[in-house]
Structure 1
Amino acid sequence: MTTYLDFFELTQEPFSNAPVSRFYYNSAQHSQALTRLMHAVGYMKGLSILIGDIGAGKTTLARRMLDSLPESEYEAALLVIIHSGITAQWLLRRIALQLGVENPAQEKLALLSQLYQRLLQIYESGKKAVVLIDEAQMLETRELMEEFRGLLNLEVPERKLISFVFFGLPEIEKNLKLDPPLAQRVALRYKLEPFTAESTEAYVKHRLRLAGCPRMPFTPEALLAVHEHSGGTPRVINTLCDNALFEAFLARSETISAELVHRIGDNLGLQGGSAASQASERPSTPASSLPRTANTKIDLAEIDRYLEGLGKL
């Protein structure tokens, strides 16, 4: 059976909304964001945040960053927050597991001791502990914010023992204000803006080229229509272009016109420039990590002494 991939001589779907690393588009602002975030974790600055509207490419960038952290230099993990009802205990256990703590304790003080010991091991091995948190806007309680502040207080004289990067919607900043001392610890903030018309065109051409498309099916006017209806949001650009390729295939048309894109945009309920507010979130996926193993020892006296200083601002 002939498909639109066959019709346009494509080797794979060019506009899937799954985070396929092969299709990563290194736009100017994505490059700047990644450079700044890599600098922040390279110097163990503590807490960095990357914000963007729905469908702006935050998850894709988080995965790209994880792939860009050399295993020889970093003990790194990506944690996806799947719902807003998580507890501080769950959060600590997930962070501990992903950084290589075996059999994390149920009791909080013992768990903190295990995590502290593991972070010291990572530091003494010459590596840096980094945890990327995707969908961080779901961290909605002051208790969670205070837990991150406590973890950021874990340090040695030379530097912090762990760095975090939050990826999420603009609500992150409201959540950080639940614990003002943590908000003051944000070392770097970067916001992903929607693509311009020129970036939208370059993005579409980039994905088509990587999918093996031998010719450009979208007219210049059609590309402008894609930008108009998507508002420059990558996820919505993908949806529009995928639909356009399929509809053109059904019509056996090798050219995609602005008229077709406008019709698809209208059918999807996308009014020009409002796509970002109308797009729906992709379901969260389970956390991925770079697992590590370690023989941790619990030194309650040491962690007790250390925790006495965690209340500092």
Structure 2
Amino acid sequence: MSYYEMLGLKKEPFATGPDPAFFYRSSSHNAALQRLEIMLRLKRGLGLILGDVGIGKTTMSRALVQAFANDHDYIFHIILDPSYKSEFQFLSSLVKMFGIKPNSRSTLDYREEIERYLFKKGVDENKTVVLLIDEGQKLSASFLEILRIFLNYETNEYKLLQLIIVSQMELLPRIKKIKNFYDRIGLKYIINPLDEKETKEMIFFRLKTAGAEDPKKLFTDGAVNFIFGCSQGYPRKTSMLCHDALEFLVMNGKAIADESVVREVAARTVI
């Protein structure tokens, strides 16, 4: 029996994976999602979502993809890590991802094949192609230039490629120096940490989603307040502390995590 079942839960409430079912929509995350959806509906081209490590960018991205799951006019492609060794490898990966069967193998041929693909999907089939790139801070200047060229493909009314780059803050000063790329950004949004009220709501939301009948029976207000003080509203840090606190309850035969439990867990946890 897993620890969460011993606490009356049906699932792991504080896993660190990007499961959209456990995605808590803080005011900042919700604003980012709404603005991204508007950008995609209007086919504005380039959206940039920024935030610190552990702020919930990847989970928010999965929630966005899920929101369009039943809309077959949108074709989503996701790059989880753009750490390619060369322009050729980057383009080759895109060609494979788009399902293109190229007649030859060169960077120029790949670019032309991708251009034809975007026009076929966007004009002939009236589809919206979305390329979502996570860990955008890893994009090199040459890869950004390739993406800039793709953003030039358009009709008189809209861009043929909708590009969403999700990144840590370090990308921003870099792309500000690339004016012809920075000027193409149709949406730029920075995700902020949760406040104390939202942190409490996130903890209880995840517990309820995992099957808890009354989350207050697992964490006291004092415990939640202390968790916020430690995590400063960063979802990943919050989840790690909550997971360790629940694990502590099981290992020590306790029923509820109060402030003393969380203090003890936090003292030996590196977050």
TM over 0.5: yes
1: distance between equivalents of 2:179 and 2:60?
A: 27
Q: Show the counterpart of 1:232.
A: 233
Q: Show the counterpart of 1:301.
A: none
SS of equivalent to 2:157: coil
Q: Is the counterpart of residue 113 in structure 1 residue 141 in structure 2? A: no
SS of equivalent to 1:86: coil
2: distance between equivalents of 1:213 and 1:104?
A: 56
Asked if 2 retains the 8 angstrom alpha-carbon contact of 1:104 and 1:111, the reply is no
SS of equivalent to 1:163: strand
Report the Cα offset of residue 104 of structure 1. Answer: 7.1
Report the Cα offset of residue 71 of structure 1. Answer: 4.3
Asked if 1 retains the 8 angstrom alpha-carbon contact of 2:82 and 2:134, the reply is no
Structure 1 residues 193, 209: CA separation in 2 closer, same or farther (over 3 Å shift)? same
Structure 1 residues 7, 185: CA separation in 2 closer, same or farther (over 3 Å shift)? same
Q: With structure 1 as the length reference, what TM-score do the two structures score?
A: 0.81
Structure 1 residues 104, 39: CA separation in 2 closer, same or farther (over 3 Å shift)? farther
1: distance between equivalents of 2:88 and 2:58?
A: 25
Q: How does 1:197-276 map to 2 (within 5 A)?
A: 197-215=196-214, 216=216, 217-269=218-270
Asked if 2 retains the 8 angstrom alpha-carbon contact of 1:132 and 1:165, the reply is yes
1: distance between equivalents of 2:92 and 2:42?
A: 25
Asked if 1 retains the 8 angstrom alpha-carbon contact of 2:5 and 2:11, the reply is no
SS of equivalent to 1:78: strand
Relative to its length, the structure with more helix (as a share) is: 2
1: distance between equivalents of 2:154 and 2:104?
A: 21
Structure 1 residues 104, 54: CA separation in 2 closer, same or farther (over 3 Å shift)? farther
Report the Cα offset of residue 178 of structure 1. Answer: 4.5
SS of equivalent to 1:198: helix
For the aligned residue pairs, the C-alpha RMSD in angstroms reads 1.6
Q: How does 1:150-161 map to 2 (within 5 A)?
A: 150-161=149-160
Structure 1 residues 144, 158: CA separation in 2 closer, same or farther (over 3 Å shift)? same
Asked if 1 retains the 8 angstrom alpha-carbon contact of 2:20 and 2:60, the reply is no
1: distance between equivalents of 2:51 and 2:145?
A: 24
Q: Show the counterpart of 1:298.
A: none
Structure 1 residues 213, 195: CA separation in 2 closer, same or farther (over 3 Å shift)? same
Deviations 1:272-301 (A, max 9, x none): xxxxxxx5xxxxxxxxxxxxxxxxxxxxxx
Q: With structure 2 as the length reference, what TM-score do the two structures score?
A: 0.93
Q: Show the counterpart of 1:137.
A: 137
SS of equivalent to 1:159: coil
1: distance between equivalents of 2:171 and 2:71?
A: 28
Q: Which piece of structure 1 moves more, 53-62 or 152-161?
A: 152-161
Asked if 1 retains the 8 angstrom alpha-carbon contact of 2:121 and 2:127, the reply is yes
Structure 1 residues 260, 47: CA separation in 2 closer, same or farther (over 3 Å shift)? same
Unaligned runs of 5+ in 2: none
What one-letter code is carried by the residue in structure 2 that aligns with 1:248?
Answer: L
Q: How does 1:61-140 map to 2 (within 5 A)?
A: 61-69=60-68, 70-81=70-81, 83=83, 85-103=84-102, 105-123=104-122, 124-139=124-139
Report the Cα offset of residue 157 of structure 1. Answer: 2.0
The number of aligned residues is 267
Q: Which piece of structure 1 moves more, 92-101 or 250-259?
A: 92-101
Identical amino acids, percent of aligned pairs: 25
Q: Show the counterpart of 2:3.
A: 4
SS of equivalent to 1:147: helix
1: distance between equivalents of 2:148 and 2:199?
A: 39
